[in-house]
């Protein structure tokens, strides 16, 4: 991403795009990609614009404020790598993929740290040159443990928190602390097979497809706005173990796709849904 | 299919394939494709064999009976088109596809009749030269109506009954009458979005994928052995109506794939799962 | 589609979207969906807008002309079914799908006629209530035959001509007559397996995937702007015949997707590429 | 894999499976999965069997030799991790994936070493604890360079050599040294876009899909037996750079699938094709 990205959300009205683009034109900014969407059910307007030119951020936002409704949400992102912290437990596939991409500059992210409630993945992070923080949960209440996690994560002031197979149920405090900037990869094709042992469930049911879902985290477990989903075909010869292996492949793939979208500011949230400008 | 297909299911034991293939070799039959599978959980053995040569059916089955356990299930299918009856309500996409394929000999099936609880699809069937039977449900109990349906369908003595968007909940009598030979296309990626208005549910949930499932019909609604599943990607611009349109495309595709498999005797049932020899 | 669709293509410059949307705002038209794209290599600007409100077409286009560069291409499409003519030879799968969709109002098209160089598909078209014109090529030069085809097709004044497995090589005259409004489904994943017997070629090469490509027709055979492509997985047990069957399934699916996009005015052409606003 | 895998290839004849399974039954070996295939064009028989029991390898092969034609190829693989050496140049995505899988025991392989003609990926290999050998090609003829590569690779006596974006054209000597045990990932959906800059080619052509192909290496560049292929959808907003990124994702996925199949002895070679027992 070499361009600024402008994200606007507000109630729709006639002339909105005109008012916005006038502000851009007055500042000699060129639109190189643009998407708009009006959500029929809510009457809300969403817009994502890639801008070239001499962007003076404060001035531009101020001039947009003058023409937009008071409740408009305006976000202007300069071209930069996003700061991310990744939470893990013990599975290597998702964090392994992120580490290789970050180490070889194939992701629009600066990886600040990996935080785990177990120590198993420390070598993987550290061998790649990234800090690893162990925050063990043994002997702590959920709230006590999570306060420590929040403290570590918040100390990095990340743009995005990635739950890369972090197998802990989050408290409302954790969710609200990183509201709209925490992405989870779910071991299932939501809303099917919610809960424990999804691959065992899938195996018992004899499904021919298994999937994975990446979503923003909200208070309702496994219920946040979906960013990306995909599936792979399986068949009767798949044991639960082999289903889990296939599941890890699709998890890795779906999380990567979601992160690509979020890290390029292509995702806007509307209630429990996402608007995605590809 | 120009070959005979032999399907065998029984408890596994050492030497089983040897005993079976000896029977085939003694009769100078050549195996041109073969698949075996032992289900770990149940210890059951499944085998599908395509045979070339001078197959004397009764003799062959008798000689197999002599070497197999008493409870073995043996099915020997000659190369022939399967006799099918299709049940519909008012949606044209699945039956439309079947009609074109049957009319142009692109399906291993002889379409005997279309039966509907509404009259909307009569022209589609009749214009293609196939009989259409209207069995209206108005003013009848579920059992009364279904007795009439069973009577019409059974009069054709079909190998397979296809529920091509037949929007009626079946009675246990109907299910048992056509046990293991009735295939349904379900408007969803089971087990997600069971029940009414799946595309509205999918829209409300903001999913990025919708799917369809073809399965054998059992007493548990939407719970029979799955034969085929697939999905398509959707996005935030899809209205419920457009999701339904996309859903019809994947329904048609999945039903066709399931029918292809069943009509070529590639599907065996094991409890609530299918073993598929592709 | 209940909205007007506005398509604009011109060289990019700062302020373009502003100028366009001012014209729309002045006429109290509301933008309910909008996509813009600037092609980096050519510096050309593409825009697709769905409009609600009291659209006075001539007035709107005139006011847009005043603010846009002289060479701008402007197309304003009212919400209506597109008029299509379908050309066929002898394969039923693509035209069969179109017929069912048109008969049951599941396609944004009014099917005017089916034209074939063979008579095989006449019953399929006529049984569904659509005119079929046989234009045999026997005893005619390519040019003589095609003049007759052009005459029949042009007599319907279609918005779009669909080559649904029309197995004739077109003359430049045919191509130029229906420039930018003729779509072909190609029996291959272009640019692989160009030419005759693609499924035999695919079989010989032992590929694990076969595909299909829908594209606008240009003078270079099989080389026009691609609208949609897709593939399906195959394996070593697929004979050339079975590969062809699988190929027909993906052809049908890809042509349907391309027609959906074109019939909703979601496709713009840029040289040998398409810009698609989904 | 906890079972022995038996692979047999020979000319087909009546009674073959019987003769083979008699040998297995005589030794009290149980068949837990089995696949056979007769290639119609060549009349050759292929069989893959998973065996449980007390396998005495030499004895079993000898007894099979007695019943099979002289030219039969018999391979009996014990349950073990395969020894692999990976060749790389400078792209991290494929080797990065292999390293994470090997380090966390998610691949049926023992990674012996990484060999590169450039030094860029040394840290990635070494940080994960695997040896890295630099064999620079500067100042050497192709043959001289490759002799050094062969020497290093052969010193590990690998079961399989993986070309994980190794960007060198191989000599016939290299190909014959590792005949039938060298797998390459090709940056394209073969046979389309053979040659240099495939993503630039794909971009120029305006394709809607890009793919990757994993194949055994033969003397004909990019022409060996295909093991796995897959594709991903792209659109007009993809620059060549973004297409390459998408391409890397599909390359990684396809190579992983091919390695899974080969490392579990699921792939047999027939001329320029593969027979795959999934």
- The DSSP bridge partners found for residue C5 are C50, C77
Q: What's the confidence (pLDDT) of residue B187?
A: 77
Q: Are B81 and B108 in contact (CB under 8 A)?
A: yes
Residue C33 maps to which CATH number?
3.30.70.260
Q: State how far the Cα of B95 lies from the Cα of B85, in Å rounded to an integer.
A: 11
Of the candidates D54, D222, D230, D265, the residue annotated as catalytic is D222
CB neighbourhood size of D230 (10 A): 18
Annotated catalytic residue A222 = yes
Q: Do C103 and B92 touch (CB under 8 A)?
A: yes
Which residues of chain A make contact with D237, given a CB cutoff of 8 A?
Answer: 33, 278
Q: Are D179 and D221 in contact (CB under 8 A)?
A: no
User: Residue A90 belongs to what domain range?
Assistant: 82-276
Of the candidates A12, A19, A147, A222, the residue annotated as catalytic is A222
Q: State how far the Cα of A6 lies from the Cα of D13, in Å rounded to an integer.
A: 70
> A104 at the D interface (CB within 8 A)?
yes
pLDDT digits (tens, 9 = 90+) for D78-97: 999 999 999 999 999 999 99
Containing B277, the helix (H) or strand (E) segment is: none
User: Looking at the partner chain, which of C189, C236, C237 has a beta carbon nearest the beta carbon of D192?
Assistant: C189
How close does chain D come to A70, measured CA to CA in Å? 33
Which residues of chain D make contact with C211, given a CB cutoff of 8 A?
Answer: 209, 231
Q: How confident is the model at residue D191 (pLDDT cuts 50, 70, 90)?
A: low
DSSP C125-142: HHHTT--EEE---TTS-H
Q: Is the ipTM of this complex over 0.85?
A: yes
Q: Are residues A182 and A57 in the same domain?
A: no
* Residue finishing a domain among C49, C77, C105: C77
Residue A87 C-alpha from the chain's centroid: 13
Q: Do B12 and D30 touch (CB under 8 A)?
A: yes
Count: domains in chain C: 2
* Three-class SS state of B186: strand
User: Looking at the partner chain, which of C18, C25, C38 has a beta carbon nearest the beta carbon of A25?
Assistant: C18
Q: At a CB cut-off of 8 Å and minimum separation 6, what does A196 contact? A: none
Q: Are residues C143 and C266 in the same domain?
A: yes
Q: State how far the Cα of A130 lies from the Cα of A123, in Å rounded to an integer.
A: 10
* Residue finishing a domain among A77, A109, A142: A77
Q: At a CB cut-off of 8 Å and minimum separation 6, what does D272 contact? A: C205, C206, D218, D223, D224, D225
Q: Do A18 and C25 touch (CB under 8 A)?
A: yes
Q: State how far the Cα of C256 lies from the Cα of C254, in Å rounded to an integer.
A: 5
Residue C247 maps to which CATH number?
3.40.50.170
> B237 at the C interface (CB within 8 A)?
yes
User: Is pLDDT above 80 for D39?
Assistant: yes
pLDDT one digit per residue (tens) for chain A, 278 residues: 679 999 999 999 888 988 999 999 999 998 888 888 988 889 999 999 999 999 999 999 999 999 999 999 999 999 999 999 999 999 999 999 999 999 999 999 999 999 999 999 999 999 999 999 999 999 999 999 999 999 999 999 999 999 999 999 899 999 999 999 999 998 775 556 666 677 777 777 788 888 899 999 998 766 799 999 999 999 998 888 888 899 999 999 999 999 999 999 999 999 989 999 98
Q: What's the confidence (pLDDT) of residue B192?
A: 63
List active site positions of C.
Answer: 222
β pairing state of C4-11 and B273-276: unpaired
Q: Do D53 and B22 touch (CB under 8 A)?
A: no
**Tokens read off for D186:** 């090709």
Q: What's the confidence (pLDDT) of residue A68?
A: 96
Q: Are residues D235 and D250 in the same domain?
A: yes
Euclidean distance between the first and the last CA atom of chain B, given in angstroms as a whole number? 13
Q: Are residues C48 and C146 in the same domain?
A: no
User: Is pLDDT above 90 for C268?
Assistant: yes
Q: Are residues D200 and D96 in the same domain?
A: yes
Residue C227: closest C-alpha in chain D: D208
Q: Are residues C202 and C87 in the same domain?
A: yes
pLDDT digits (tens, 9 = 90+) for C203-222: 777 888 888 999 999 987 66
Of the candidates B147, B180, B222, B230, the residue annotated as catalytic is B222
Q: State how far the Cα of A52 lies from the Cα of C45, in Å rounded to an integer.
A: 14
Residue A80 C-alpha from the chain's centroid: 16
Q: What's the confidence (pLDDT) of residue A244?
A: 87
Q: What's the confidence (pLDDT) of residue C44?
A: 93
Which residues of chain C make contact with A35, given a CB cutoff of 8 A?
Answer: 34-36
Q: Are residues A139 and A268 in the same domain?
A: yes
For chain B, the average pLDDT equals 92
Residue D268: closest C-alpha in chain C: C236
Q: What's the confidence (pLDDT) of residue C1?
A: 60
Q: Do A237 and B207 touch (CB under 8 A)?
A: no
Q: Round the CA-based radius of gyration of chain B to a whole number and report it.
A: 20
Residue B28: closest C-alpha in chain D: D14
Q: Is the bond preceding residue D191 a cis peptide, omega within 30 degrees?
A: yes
* Residue finishing a domain among A59, A77, A95: A77
Q: Do A229 and B208 touch (CB under 8 A)?
A: yes
Q: Are residues D73 and D90 in the same domain?
A: no
Q: What is the largest CA-CA distance in chain D?
A: 63
Q: State how far the Cα of A4 lies from the Cα of B44, in Å rounded to an integer.
A: 62
> C128 at the B interface (CB within 8 A)?
yes
Per-position b or e across D207-216, b if 16+ CB within 10 A of its CB: bbbbbbbbbb
**Tokens read off for C46:** 């593409």
Q: Are A132 and A160 in contact (CB under 8 A)?
A: no
Q: State how far the Cα of B27 lies from the Cα of A40, in Å rounded to an integer.
A: 69
Q: Are residues D204 and D257 in the same domain?
A: yes
Say what angle helices B93-103 and C93-103 make with each other, to 10 degrees: 140
Residue A36: closest C-alpha in chain B: B237
Rounded (5°) CA angle B50-B55-B59: 120
Number of H helices, E strands in chain C: 8, 13
Q: State how far the Cα of C255 lies from the Cα of A148, in Å rounded to an integer.
A: 56
- Where is pLDDT greater, at B204 or C181? C181
> A1 at the D interface (CB within 8 A)?
no
User: Is pLDDT above 70 for D192?
Assistant: no
User: Looking at the partner chain, which of D97, D101, D127 has a beta carbon nearest the beta carbon of A127?
Assistant: D127
pLDDT digits (tens, 9 = 90+) for D28-37: 998 888 888 9
> A41 at the D interface (CB within 8 A)?
no
Q: Are residues B271 and B159 in the same domain?
A: yes
Residue with tokens 């690509």: A260
Containing A25, the helix (H) or strand (E) segment is: helix A16-26
The DSSP code for A63 is H
Q: State how far the Cα of B97 lies from the Cα of B207, in Å rounded to an integer.
A: 27
Q: What's the confidence (pLDDT) of residue B195?
A: 65
Q: Are residues A102 and A235 in the same domain?
A: yes
Q: What's the confidence (pLDDT) of residue D241?
A: 86
Give partners of B (≥3 CB pairs < 8 A): A, C, D
Q: What's the confidence (pLDDT) of residue A173?
A: 95
Cα–Cα distances in angstroms (integers) from residue A252 to residues A184, B138, D252, in the given order:
11, 52, 12
**Tokens read off for B151:** 């009577």
> Nearest Cα to A234, choosing from A253, A210, A218, A211?
A210
How close does chain C come to D130, measured CA to CA in Å? 33
Q: Are residues C56 and C19 in the same domain?
A: yes
Q: What is the pTM of this model?
A: 0.94
Mean pLDDT lowest for which of B222-226, C200-204, D51-55? C200-204
């Amino acid at each position: 991403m070499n361009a600024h990205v402008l994200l606007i959300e507000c109630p729709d009205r006639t002339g909105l795009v005109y008012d916005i683009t006038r502000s851009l034109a007055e500042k000699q900014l060129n639109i190189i990609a643009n998407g708009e969407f009006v959500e029929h059910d809510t009457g809300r307007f969403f817009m994502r614009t890639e801008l070239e030119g001499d962007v003076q951020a404060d001035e531009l936002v101020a001039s947009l404020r003058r023409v937009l409704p008071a409740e408009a949400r305006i976000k202007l992102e300069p071209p930069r790598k996003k700061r991310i912290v990744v939470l893990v437990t013990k599975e290597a596939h998702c964090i392994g993929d992120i580490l290789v991409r970050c180490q070889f500059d194939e992701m629009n992210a600066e990886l600040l740290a990996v935080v785990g409630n177990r120590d198993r993945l420390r070598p993987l992070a550290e061998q790649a040159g990234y800090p690893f923080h162990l925050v063990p949960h043994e002997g702590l209440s959920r709230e006590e443990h999570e306060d420590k996690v929040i403290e570590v994560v918040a100390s990095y002031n990340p743009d995005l928190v990635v739950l890369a197979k972090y197998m802990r149920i989050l408290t409302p405090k954790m969710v609200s602390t990183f509201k709209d900037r925490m992405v989870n990869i779910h071991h299932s094709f939501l809303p099917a097979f919610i809960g424990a042992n999804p691959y065992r469930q899938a195996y018992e049911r004899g499904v021919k497809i298994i999937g994975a879902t990446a979503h923003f985290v909200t208070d309702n477990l496994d219920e946040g706005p979906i960013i990306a989903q995909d599936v792979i075909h399986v068949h009767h010869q798949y044991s639960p173990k082999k289903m889990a292996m296939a599941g890890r492949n699709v998890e890795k793939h779906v999380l990567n796709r979601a992160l690509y979208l979020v890290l390029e500011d292509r995702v806007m949230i509307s209630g429990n849904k996402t608007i995605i400008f590809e």
